[in-house]
Amino acid sequence: MSEITVNDSIDSRDEELLPSATTVALVQLALACGGFGIGTGEFAIMGLLPNVAETFSVTTPQAGYVISAYALGVVIGAPVIAVLAAKMARRTLLLTLMLVFAAGNISSAVAPTFETFTFLRFISGLPHGAYFGVAALVAASMVPVHRRARAVGRVMLGLTVATLVGTPLTTFFGQSLDWQVAFFSVGVLGLLTVALIWFYVPKDRVSEEAGFLRELGAFRRPQVWLTLGIAAVGYGGMFAMFSYIASTTTEVAMLPASAVPVMLILFGVGMNAGNFIGSWLADKSLLGTIGGSLVYNIVVLTTFSLTAANPYMLGLCVFLVGCGFAAGPALQTRLMDVAADAQTLAAASNHSAFNIANAIGAWLGGLVIAWGYGFAATGYVGAALSFLGLFVFAASLRLERRDRSTQAV
């Protein structure tokens, strides 16, 4: 296995020294496998909550605490691990993260009490953000600069495919056999990823200047905060709608419960399409893709609220809202650019920001429903969040233009 030196300066990359196309493809496959496992483990629990509740003799809402525990692990784990592991080689860190993820999920399958299970879901969530952040950096470092976003998109493909294939399959087998089977399977996927990373991801050397103080420097950069703010605020709308899609389907569009899986599949297809198109667009215009996707979300989410009672329009809008994931690779790549030599912390924090978006969107959507505006109104909530995200995006653009003017002088 060859050894590479991690180059934090993406603009100085020598394309002649980049790995072969076969090596790059195998690395991306290995990293995407981890994303597939993480995505499957994160979303499968949503369809298994009643089974978990029955096993541990708790209510379904109480069982929902395990989802919050996982999300909390993601939010906390991403920045903490990125800082503490600043002196660790990226390949070694990826292996460690997936081992923790695998152990957390396999242990979840044999948890003796609900409290233990909740704690293990928290542990399983810790590697989530750091893994995607480091995986994105590794993938981007192995391709020419103008193909970075597409490389990141291929790593993220594991996550989006999980929503389409992994989650439905593990949910089906978890319900048919035993919910513990689902988590055991996810743990096995984690171990498979460890093997793939071991064999295919080249060893790397850590920069001598690397350290936790340098990584913490990312949070001294306003553009890092603004980019994370775009993710945390501007993309909460997708989660505001998706969190209540089952009830919207049955109570607004008046479709049978059997139509809910169809809506979930449409959303998953949209996420995959958005990931593919968005990564291609981001390599053409990074900022244009981010700003354009926010405007796109405003239009699509508003249309969702206006037409949710029509089953055909509901299906179309669910697909189109899923396509809004196009911003994922763009935001991840943007963080690499603005973080300079503190890329690991910034890249990992992107997934903390998206989990905050998840929490904000679901909470605000729930408030609007509780106030009596109905499930369809969650689209208006999403559109409002995307509109607020445009203001954060505008502030980022203004700061960048000011910095360029200062440098020109």
Instruction: Output the domain CATH number for residue 162.
Output: 1.20.1250.20
- Of the pLDDT bands very low, low, confident and very high (cuts 50, 70, 90), residue 162 is confident
| Distance, CA of 70 to CA of 63 (rounded, Å) | 12
Give me the count of residues in the chain. Answer: 409
| Distance, CA of 282 to CA of 309 (rounded, Å) | 34
| Distance, CA of 199 to CA of 183 (rounded, Å) | 25
Phi, psi of 206 (to 5 degrees): -85, 140
| Distance, CA of 157 to CA of 134 (rounded, Å) | 15
Q: Are 189 and 239 members of one domain?
A: no
User: Which of 150, 171, 201 is the last residue before a domain boundary?
Assistant: 201
Instruction: Dig out the tokens for 124 from the structure.
Output: 């399983």
Q: Is residue 160 a part of any domain in this protein? A: yes
Give the residue, 65 or 280, on which the prediction is more confident.
Answer: 280
* 189-221: pLDDT as tens digits: 999 999 999 999 888 776 665 555 566 666 678
- Of the pLDDT bands very low, low, confident and very high (cuts 50, 70, 90), residue 290 is very high
Q: Are 227 and 192 members of one domain?
A: no
- Assess contact for 280 and 333: CB atoms under 8 A: no
Q: Are 57 and 197 members of one domain?
A: yes
- Assess contact for 83 and 345: CB atoms under 8 A: yes
Q: Which 3 state secondary structure label does DSSP give 18? A: coil
Q: What percent of the chain has pLDDT over 90?
A: 30
Q: Are 177 and 231 members of one domain?
A: no
Q: What is the pLDDT of residue 330?
A: 87
Q: Are 188 and 328 members of one domain?
A: no
Q: Is residue 98 a part of any domain in this protein? A: yes
* 346-389: pLDDT as tens digits: 777 787 888 788 778 878 888 888 888 888 998 999 999 999 99
Q: Are 193 and 225 members of one domain?
A: no
Q: Are 180 and 230 members of one domain?
A: no
| Distance, CA of 377 to CA of 359 (rounded, Å) | 17
Whether the predicted pLDDT of 14 surpasses 70 = no
Q: Are 107 and 35 members of one domain?
A: yes
| Distance, CA of 94 to CA of 203 (rounded, Å) | 11
| Distance, CA of 375 to CA of 250 (rounded, Å) | 10
Widest distance between CA atoms in the chain: 68
Q: Is residue 40 a part of any domain in this protein? A: yes
**Any idea of the CA torsion for 391, 393, 395, 400, to the nearest 10 degrees?**
-160
Helix and strand totals (H; E) in the chain? 18, 2
Q: Which residues contact 407 (CB under 8 A, 6 or more apart)?
A: none
Q: Is residue 14 a part of any domain in this protein? A: no
Please give the residue range of the domain that contains residue 174: 19-201
Q: Are 131 and 234 members of one domain?
A: no
Partners of residue 205 on adjacent β-strands:
5
| Distance, CA of 108 to CA of 188 (rounded, Å) | 13
Q: Are 302 and 382 members of one domain?
A: yes
Q: Is residue 1 a part of any domain in this protein? A: no
Q: Which residues contact 21 (CB under 8 A, 6 or more apart)?
A: none
Give the residue, 107 or 182, on which the prediction is more confident.
Answer: 107
Q: Are 288 and 351 members of one domain?
A: yes
* 164-197: pLDDT as tens digits: 787 777 777 777 778 888 899 999 999 999 999 9
**Any idea of the CA torsion for 214, 151, 170, 197, to the nearest 10 degrees?**
-70
Give the residue, 57 or 49, on which the prediction is more confident.
Answer: 57
Q: Are 256 and 294 members of one domain?
A: yes
Q: Is residue 277 a part of any domain in this protein? A: yes
Q: Is residue 83 a part of any domain in this protein? A: yes
Tally of structural domains, the chain: 2
Q: Which residues contact 227 (CB under 8 A, 6 or more apart)?
A: 331, 334, 335, 338, 346, 350, 396
Cα angle value 7/8/12 (rounded, 5°): 70
